[in-house]
Structure 1
Amino acid sequence: MKKEDEIIRQSLLATQEYDERLSAFATKNSDYIKIHPTHTKPYDFDVRWPYEKDIDRILYSKAYRRYVDKTQALSFFNNVHITKRSLHVQWVSRIARQIGRCLNLNTDLIEAIALGHDLGHAPYGHVGEKAINECLKERGVGYFAHNANSVRVLLYVERKGEGYNVSLQVLDGILCHNGEMINRIYKPDPFKTIDQFWKEYEACWHTPHASEHISPMTLEGCVVRISDVISYIGKDIDDAINVGLMKRSDLPSDITRVIGDGNNSMINHLVEDLVIHSYNKPYLEFSKETFEALNRLYDFISIHIHHNPVLVKENEKLFRMVKELYDVFYEDLDDPLLKDRGIQKYLSNMNEEYHQTPKELIVSDYLSGMTDTYLLEYYKKVFLPTMRENIT
């Protein structure tokens, strides 16, 4: 037996042993399902476990690199310590893997979902998402939700339209991660099929609020979904305090008494409570007291941070800016003078199959892929005059 064959054999044995040690409710490596089974390419030598391959596909995608210049909640503050989306996904991954390890779940699957869950987020976060959604609605072609767009980016946009053949379990976890909904109990939908996944994916594009009514097929997907909340809820408070939107003393005492008043204490309490009440169960569960405090905290930050008058005023400007650029790109696609620039240059680099994409989605792909800084600079170039000394 060649040395390479022996290494592969040992890796397969290690995978099997790992599966045997996992919880009865965990997703096994042997459960791995390719979303496009016929597209699988054999490799001569690859010791990575199944979900490790998906981790690498996500880590080396172009969309992952753009996380670094996409802000989380406070988009327009000039402060280097404000949370960027690149940090957010790392924190989600860290929290989720910690929970997964305690519950004896598949941490590779958890990491892949966590790192990829926001790949399709628009510039300027949920403000950009709402603006693109409005543009698609106005043109009668559907709706825009970053979770469904994250799946789209991986399958249809990356690698010049060829996409990555990521597993069903990872894509489903990304599609169902919805961190804008807080529940006391998170139950997976373990009998979900590929056909059901595709129906849910299409529903997110064509049915309002469809993302609110779908559940991950795996317990690992449920872990990422709640870890998304745990990651941002305390950090948004820290960021808001850091820029002067609020003081820590503003936090209601009936909330801080239960889950603490800082990011560290909140993460520790929420993770511990979840692990204790979910251990050896086929679902995740918070205690009643912790859930009620978390729910009140979510309402508090929604009012005092996300809908703070200062943010609302500035976010209205960002909303208009994204919408105006969508209109510009939509017109630019048909302008013969712009063949080698902007969105037409983007399109020329995509494969032939991608060229069959509806015009509205091409613009959505291009715009949602922009970073905050790039979009702002592009907006200035299009809408603001260029100062010159002379014409000649």
Structure 2
Amino acid sequence: MKADLGYGGQARAVFAQDPFKSLGRLYPEPDSQTRTPFQRDRDRIIHSSAFRRLKHKTQVFVYHEGDHFRTRLTHTIEVSQIARSLARALKLDEDLAECLALAHDLGHTPFGHEGEDVLHECMASFNGFDHNAQSLRVVTSLEQRYAEFDGLNLAWETLEGLVKHNGPLLSANGVPLGKFTDSVLPFAVRDYAEKQDLRLDTWPSAEAQAAAIADDIAYDAHDLDDGLRAGLFAIDEMMEVPFLSAILQEVDQKYPGLEESRRIHEIVRRSITRMVEDVISEAFKRLKALDPKSSTDVRNAGHCVVDFSPEMAVAEKEVKRFLFAKVYRHEDVLAVRRQVARVVHELFQRFNAKPHEMPAPWCDGLEGLTEEQVARRACDYIAGMTDRFAIEEHRRLFDDTPELG
């Protein structure tokens, strides 16, 4: 696999996304004199309001439960580190991979997946809610910082990777794929597709694929870490998962009697390393077989090229099943989820029925809006809230706000 010399001397493979061959932005802008398009996108994401709000959005544990548990922001930073490491090893454009990792959760609701599930239910009459699609909506519409356009006006490759980093959304004949097979594409995707063609029927760049698998790796390893530190399960319970059992035995043999906190960290770091090294090895095999001559060849490959090996894919699913049983379905976690579900549901019902109770600018220009547009306005407002602000808004409007602490 040949490589050329990228920006700043970085070696870049021929199948990497070339920042100087970008398909551009919806609203044309002069090129930066000091940054590539993807570096510029990364900076715009980091400086966005939505990115700052990730600091106070739940990953698994709600904000009150401790300062050392992951938030959406710390998770995002960890994903970006793994994505950049994968991109460097595969000679991809590191800036695009990092950019996509930093943006991937911008559309997430307060209270993690519970908030998303509730908003999906509340928006059922209007094709539901999807946090990936909401991320696209954030960067193309809801961020309103620039004088000449709404959104961040990101490069085509960034938007493409953001909306379909998990794979194509449409078949070649335009039929929705994956979780949208029995429905339609989310509103945010359909709405933006009328303005710019993101080629929803192809795979995204290898950089987007690296960001997507980095999300899985970070999620698995760090939910193990947080679950252990929260006391939701004991270290020895991991022996029931072969992948984790092998790591645990390795750590205990090398460091007998190691204190608990260091033991946990050694397990987590080895989990990340093994998954990352597996992805790199498998990606090289797939790329060698494909022999792509450009990033377009990667998009048209018909399959993912940056992914787990079949063996690691099985192991990773076993880790996820373990986490589902021990963490996500733990009664302590479920008890909080039930409380925050009520908060999100009641906020939506209130703002949908009385949209004037939202603050400006959300309550501006309500006259003449359709039922769906009002619901979308309430949904956008709630989806952008932090955990703390959602509780404060509920307390402002209701007398029985749950005490999560």
Query: With structure 1 as the length reference, what TM-score do the two structures score?
Result: 0.78
- Equivalent residue number for residue 346 of structure 1: 362
Query: How big is the shift at 1:246?
Result: 0.9
CA distance in 1, matches of 2:50, 2:307: 33
Does residue 143 of structure 1 match 2:128?
yes
CA contact (8 A) 2:279 2:306 kept: yes
Determine which of 16, 22, 37 is the counterpart of 1:32: 22
Query: How big is the shift at 1:214?
Result: 7.5
Query: How big is the shift at 1:169?
Result: 1.7
Alignment coverage as a number of residue pairs: 342
CA distance in 2, matches of 1:18, 1:143: 45
Determine which of 377, 381, 387 is the counterpart of 2:392: 377
Moved more, 371-380 or 164-173: 164-173
- Equivalent residue number for residue 204 of structure 1: 186
- 1:17 to 1:280, Cα distance in 2 relative to 1, 3 A: farther
- Equivalent residue number for residue 210 of structure 1: none
CA contact (8 A) 1:29 1:51 kept: yes
Does residue 155 of structure 1 match 2:137?
no
CA distance in 1, matches of 2:387, 2:372: 25
Give the letter for the 1:56 counterpart.
D
Give the letter for the 1:256 counterpart.
L
Does residue 83 of structure 1 match 2:98?
no
CA distance in 2, matches of 1:26, 1:117: 20
Query: How big is the shift at 1:167?
Result: 1.7
Give the letter for the 1:235 counterpart.
H
CA distance in 1, matches of 2:201, 2:321: 22
- Equivalent residue number for residue 284 of structure 1: 306
Structure 1 gap segments, 5+ residues each: 1-12, 179-187, 208-212, 387-392
Does residue 271 of structure 1 match 2:253?
no
Query: With structure 2 as the length reference, what TM-score do the two structures score?
Result: 0.76
> 1:118 aligns to what SS in structure 2?
coil
CA distance in 2, matches of 1:385, 1:226: 41
Give the letter for the 2:217 counterpart.
I
Q: CA RMSD in A?
A: 3.4
CA distance in 2, matches of 1:287, 1:361: 40
Q: Give 1:315-326 correspondences, 5 Å limit.
A: 315-326=337-348
- Equivalent residue number for residue 236 of structure 2: 249
- 1:232 to 1:385, Cα distance in 2 relative to 1, 3 A: closer
Query: How big is the shift at 1:142?
Result: 1.3
Determine which of 333, 357, 373 is the counterpart of 1:358: 373
CA distance in 2, matches of 1:40, 1:14: 26
Give the letter for the 1:102 counterpart.
A
Does residue 310 of structure 1 match 2:332?
yes
- Equivalent residue number for residue 173 of structure 1: 161
Q: Give 1:159-238 correspondences, 5 Å limit.
A: 159=144, 162-178=150-166, 203-205=185-187, 216-238=203-225
Does residue 118 of structure 1 match 2:105?
yes
Identity %: 27
Structure 2 gap segments, 5+ residues each: 190-199, 249-263, 288-304
Query: How big is the shift at 1:234?
Result: 1.3
Give the letter for the 2:130 counterpart.
A
Q: 4+ residue stretches of structure 1 with deviation over 6 A?
A: 354-357
Residue deviations 1:78-133, cap 9 Å, x none?
Answer: 21111011101100000010011001111010011000000010000100001111
Determine which of 274, 284, 293 is the counterpart of 2:315: 293
Give the letter for the 2:373 counterpart.
P
CA distance in 1, matches of 2:70, 2:201: 28
CA distance in 2, matches of 1:129, 1:236: 18
Does residue 60 of structure 1 match 2:47?
yes
- 1:81 to 1:134, Cα distance in 2 relative to 1, 3 A: same
CA distance in 2, matches of 1:18, 1:205: 41
Does residue 23 of structure 1 match 2:13?
yes
CA distance in 2, matches of 1:94, 1:83: 15
